[in-house]
Structure 1
């Protein structure tokens, strides 16, 4: 398979996407602005190296890293909005990437919280995984626009202020235009841990943005911390898409369908390949079963 390519265009559309990811948590575009962004991205959504209508950019500003995915979903807006406004549905999304070991949604007088454990990409005892507490907030829920936000104030190894924000509007032909913003803050310890990762397990790994051409004319893809951010943003987007696809199956088949659907989607991109299907599916079946239990 050829390496998938994505050209980073220094244009209004890309700049707005980066501004959205790096903006304060309370600052987001409304439905009109998101629809206008869809119009601006028209050609890039129709013709790109992803093999699907998708646009991805990443940025680093001071102590914050961010990735933004814009994509057209072949699902009606009402179904997308209903699915992604449920905290429990978000656990079905977040459990799909390799390194999520556990997710459980709880509600109390203060609101909804997702209790998440993040660990190694391979099988790991859940007790050894890092605990994240995502506050879930439904920012908007209208007939023509919705936005849901997850925010965790503390993260592993010197990271902080994790934000995952999804917003969407209906577009033509019964489809949905979605924006996923993924970002987090890093301090000194976090940068040291990232450099260690990039020198060991992450050595040679890339993201999707083309940053230049080699002497042979082949594209050079972004690496380093922004490459890692782009890989994570893509994993979350593909998890959302796999979750939405699975809802068309009978309830007893949905878990298996999204496990296999997410894995198949990641295999289209060499940057995202980590393990064989049998190992991934066995690990995720166990983790999905465990997420029904309240560990914290």
Structure 2
């Protein structure tokens, strides 16, 4: 969900994780805007967006049908991915209407250490998520975050699901992750994954400290127009783009694993996620394959209630 940022302060580890855009969609424009008020208009707007983006989806540097947008303001940072999934809409809809399926997706990210889902009587849900560093870590040393899970629209032709947390570390606020989806011909689905968070002065200063130390030189996916030597945006926009891609690839990996026998699905999605992120090694490489697979298998077992000893 996020790239978790670390630095020491009075012997305690402070964590910030980048969260990406929840700005809403209208019509065929490429910017973020307000979502329409009815399911029919919302699905039409997303399909119109697909039509507008067809050239970029067909030919781009990502080597998959995907398009990025991101923004940074004085107190928010956000990113949005539009992509075509090679999975039918009923499968996508059935998967992401369920809070526990989100946990299966989120745990693929390097910094997600644990996720437990629960459902309320009103059919809303919650996700208790622990985030930490990119190596093995005891849960007591991680940061706990609670997301609400709401299916805001679910029809045979449109899905809108929102995860939201009011507060995060270092006075960060309004964490949001939203998935919009519509069916396409030939058993495919067009989605918009949006991810964002707000921050105050403390959050901005902490992020800037990370970006000038451990995060120095790391970049995102959007081509830069302000002279970065890498040719890509850096800073907070770069961080939020990296994590948006990590979560999009986790969605891809989970859906692809459903084609495997149940006993092979977890290993399949872990391998898929690692291989997919290595396609963008400049932005996303952090661990070698054995280290990632070993850590994630242990964290997945812990998520299933199996005791895990952290070395």
TM-score (ref. length: structure 1): 0.88
- Distance, in Å, in 2 between the alignment partners of 1:160 and 1:219 is 31
2:166 to 131, 144, 153: 153
Cross-structure match for 1:74 = 86
The aligned length equals 279
Kept in 2, the 8 Å contact 1:104–1:293? The answer is no
Post-superposition shift, 1:201?
1.0
Q: In the TM superposition, what are the counterparts of 1:91-240 in structure 2 within 5 Å?
A: 91-109=103-121, 111-212=124-225, 220-240=231-251
The runs of at least 4 consecutive aligned structure 1 residues that moved more than 2 Å come to 12-18, 26-29, 107-111, 212-215, 292-295
The alpha-carbon distance between structure 1 residues 27 and 223, as it changes in their structure 2 partners (threshold 3 A), is farther
Kept in 1, the 8 Å contact 2:28–2:48? The answer is no
Q: In the TM superposition, what are the counterparts of 1:57-72 in structure 2 within 5 Å?
A: 57-72=69-84
Post-superposition shift, 1:62?
3.2
**Is 1:278 paired with 2:290?**
yes
Any idea what the Cα deviations from partners look like across 1:66-120, whole Å, max 9, x if unmatched?
1000000111111111111111100001101100000010123463100000111
**Is 1:251 paired with 2:262?**
yes
- Distance, in Å, in 2 between the alignment partners of 1:37 and 1:15 is 5
- Distance, in Å, in 1 between the alignment partners of 2:54 and 2:151 is 28
Any idea what the Cα deviations from partners look like across 1:199-243, whole Å, max 9, x if unmatched?
11100000011114979xx86100000000100110010000101
TM-score (ref. length: structure 2): 0.84
Kept in 2, the 8 Å contact 1:104–1:292? The answer is no
Post-superposition shift, 1:15?
9.0
Unaligned ranges ≥5, structure 2: 1-24
Kept in 1, the 8 Å contact 2:107–2:114? The answer is yes
Unaligned ranges ≥5, structure 1: 1-11
Post-superposition shift, 1:124?
1.2
- Distance, in Å, in 1 between the alignment partners of 2:161 and 2:202 is 30
Kept in 2, the 8 Å contact 1:207–1:231? The answer is yes
- Distance, in Å, in 1 between the alignment partners of 2:161 and 2:213 is 35
Kept in 2, the 8 Å contact 1:212–1:219? The answer is no
